[in-house]
Structure formats: C-alpha cells, structure tokens
Amino acid sequence: MENKEFSKQLENRTKKFALSIIKLSISLPNTPENRVIKNQITK
C-alpha cells in the first residue's frame, strides 16, 4: 500500500470514528455526570 492510499484510509477511519463519538455523546442523557463525559470524549 502506498503512502497516499494509507493516508486517505486513515483520514476516512478517523472521520468515521469522530462521527460515531458525536452520535454517542448525543445519545447520552443530559445529567451533570454525562455532561462531563460528553465534554471529555468530544475534545
């Protein structure tokens, strides 16, 4: 696998991961504890 292809695949995986983290944070109930968790995982 060449460097450019690897870079593009890594970018796509990172983007999918970020979107799944955002979806997870949205699904958490809005409690004080979960607000802390949401802030930490979305940083």
pTM, two decimals, is 0.73
Task: Transcribe the chain into DSSP letters.
Answer: --HHHHHHHHHHHHHHHHHHHHHHHHHS---HHHHHHHHHHT-
Give the pLDDT confidence of 1-43 residue by residue, as tens digits. Answer: 688 999 999 999 999 999 999 999 999 999 999 999 999 998 8
What three-state secondary structure class fits 2? coil
Q: State how far the Cα of 25 lies from the Cα of 37, in Å rounded to an integer.
A: 8
Number of continuous H segments (helices) and E segments (strands) in the chain: 2, 0
